[in-house]
Amino acid sequence: MCGIAGIIQLHASEAIDESALRRMCALLAHRGPDDEGVYVAGNIGLGNRRLAVIDVSEQGHQPLANEDGSVWVTFNGEIYNYQELRRDLQQRGHTFASHTDTEVIVHAYEEFGLEFVDHLDGMFGLAVWDHRKETLVLARDRLGEKSLYYYLDGQRLLFASELGAIIKSRHAELDLRIDAAALRQYLIFGCIPAPATIFTKVRKLCPGEFLVLRRGACTTKRYWEVPIAAPRGEAPEEELLDRFHEALQASVRRRMRSDVPLGAFLSGGVDSTCVVGVAASLAEMPVQTFSIGYDDATFDEARHARDVAAYFGTKHTELILSDEDLSSTIVRIMGSFDEPFYDHSAVPTYLVSELARRSVTVALSGDGGDELFFGYKHLLQRLVSYERRRAYEEQAGGNGTRRAWFERLPRAMRRAACAAISRCAPAGTLPQAKRRLEDSLFCRPYRDWPEQFLAGYAHTPPELRRGLLGEAGEEDDAAGLRATLRRTAACEPVTQLALLDLHTYLPNDILTKVDRMSMQHALEVRIPLLDHRIVEFAMSLPTQVKLRAGVQKYFLKRYLQRHLIEDPRVLAAVTREKHGFRFPIGRYMDSLLKPQILDSLRSRSFQQALGLRPAGVELAIRRHEQRRAGKTVWLLFCLSLWWRHHLT
C-alpha cells in the first residue's frame, strides 16, 4: 500500500516543478512511511510514498520501470494474483528485476496494452507512463477500494491518492472553486459520489474506470461493472454454499500473501466472522484479531468478538473506549478527511486501525457483506415500501383514480402540497405523516422509485437543502440513481437495492472511510468479500437465498452453520441482530460539542466560503433543537471541520 502522485505539463516545453511533486509526496507520507521516490523526465513527473508489504527490499522502490525504461509505474494497492501473472508474463518473454507485485503492472501493460487492467486482481489506484506513446494511464480497482483524484485544466494534469495532496501542493494557479452540485450531493449522501469532488476542476475516477491522457487529449472508460445477470437456477442450497466456501477460501488465501505481519478486524458479526473463520483454517499460526468496544453496555458488542476469537483460537486484542476517549478524538478525526465526510463510524475505524497497527501491517476486514447479502435494515424497509406501492398499482389496474389526478399535477404543486401537510404535522409524527401521505392520498407509483429511494436515503430533507442552497440544480439530485435503476430494470428488487448501495454507499462512504482511517496509521486493509468473483456470484443469487422469512443475510448465516461454526451458542451469538459499533453522537452534540458546533455553523466566513444561506443554517439549528434535523447539523459541522482544515 502506498500513496501516489504525479504531474504532467500538457505543453512539452514546460518542465516539471519537482519541488511541487515532492510536496505532494510529503503530504502522503502517512500512507507510505517506508520510502519515497520521484521520477522526473521532461514534462512528466511521478511520485510515490511506499508502505513495504510485498518484497520489502530496495528492489521494491517506486516509481518502477520495465527493462529499457520505456514504461514507468507508480502504484498504490495490492495485486493478489501477482505470482500467477508473473509466471505467465515470464513465459511470454518478460524479465523481472524484483519480486514485487508492482513490477507485474508494467509488464502486463507492455503485453496487453490498455487491457492490462482486466488481468489485475486486486485493489489499486495506479499510474502508468508510456514514453514511446507519450501516454499516461490512470486506473482504479473494480469496486473502488482505493481512490485516485485528478485535476485537469489547459496547462497540466495533477493526480494523487488523496485530494489533499493536490490542493495543498501549492502548485501555481489551481482553480479551487467549490462545486455547488457536489455540495448538494454531500447534503444528501454524507459524502460526494464519484466522479465529482467538492471542487469543480478536481475529479476522481469511478470504480472500475481508467483514464487515458495522450498528447493532451483525455478520455475515461469503464473497464468493469457489476454484471447484471439473471438469478441462478434453482440449484440446491448446499451446492451454492459449497461454491461460496471455495470462492471465499481462494479470496482469503490470496489476501493472506504478505511479507509483513498480518491480522484481521473482528466485530463478532456475521461478515468478519466469515473472514476470520476462513483465515484461521488456512493459517499455520493463530491469526491476530482486533476489536473495540464501548464501556456503555447499551452500545457494547465486544463480548461477541471475544466469543468468536476463543472459538477460532485467535490471538485477540481489544480496546474498550469511554466517552472521554471518543469525545477527545471526534473533531480531530472527522476534520482529517480530504473531502467533506459525515459518517462518524470513522472514529471507531480510526481507533481499531491504530490498535491493529501496533502489531501488524496488514489487516483483513469483513466489509461488503451487507451490500452483497442484504444486511442493511434500510434495504428491507425500502423493499417493503416498494412491494406495497406495486401492490397498489396492480390493484388500481395501473391507472388508479387517486394516482391519476396526482400525476397530472405540476411537480411544483405536488411539492407544495407535501410541504403544506408537513408543516401541519406534529414534529414527532412528521415521518409517519409523510408516509401516510404517499400511501393513502397521493400513492406515488413505484416507477418513481429513484425519488422514493432518495427521500429515504437523504440525510438532509429537501426543504432544508433548499433553505441552505436554494433550488438551483435540485432536479438532478436523483440523476445517478435513475441511471442505475434503468440499467438494472430487469433485476429483482433485492438485486436492484443491492446494486444501488454498491454504486453509492459502498465506494463513496464505507471504502473511503476504511482507506483514509487505516492509512492514517499506514495500515493496509484487505477485503476478501469484495473479490470481484464473489461479488458476481452474490449478485446472481436468487432473492430467497439472501432474504428468507424476513431473515437478512440468510445465506451467510447458513454458510457459517454449514462450514465454520458447530457450537450452537457461538452461532447464535454471531447471527444475532447486530447493531455495529455505535456511540451516542447525539449526546455529544447536545453537550460536549454543542458550543463548537454552533460557533462553526454560524461563522460568516464558513457560510460565505461554501455558499450557505444564513437563514437555512438557522433553520437547521432550530430543527435540531426540536429533534428533527440532527443529521443535517452534523453534516454541516463536518463540512465546517473540513473547510477549516483544508481551506483556511
Q: Which residues are catalytic?
A: 2
* Cα–Cα dist 89/86, whole Å: 5
Residues in the chain: 648
Instruction: Return phi, psi of residue 203, to 5°.
Output: -120, 165
- Fill in the amino acid letter for 552: Q
Please count the other Cβ atoms lying within 10 Å of the Cβ belonging to residue 436: 13
Q: How far apart are CA 356 and CA 272, in angstroms?
A: 15
Start-to-end C-alpha separation, the chain: 30
- Give 293-355 as a DSSP string: EESSTTT--HHHHHHHHHHHT-EEEEEEE-HHHHHTTHHHHHTT-SS----TTHHHHHHHHHH
Q: How far is CA 375 from CA 237, 279, 299, 497, 555, in A?
A: 19, 22, 19, 11, 10
Residues whose CB is less than 8 angstroms from the CB of residue 99 and which lie 6 or more positions away in sequence, other chains included: 54, 55, 59
Residue 430 burial (C-beta neighbours within 10 Å; 0-12, 13-18, 19+): middle
Query: How far apart (Å, rounded) are the C-alpha atoms in residues 205 and 222?
Result: 10
Neighbours of 163 (CB within 10 A): 22
What are the DSSP calls for 463-503, one per residue? HHHHHHH-STTGGGTTHHHHHHHHHTTTS-HHHHHHHHHHH
Contact between 377 and 545 (Cβ < 8 Å)? no
What's the CA gap between 512 and 338, in Å, rounded?
Answer: 10
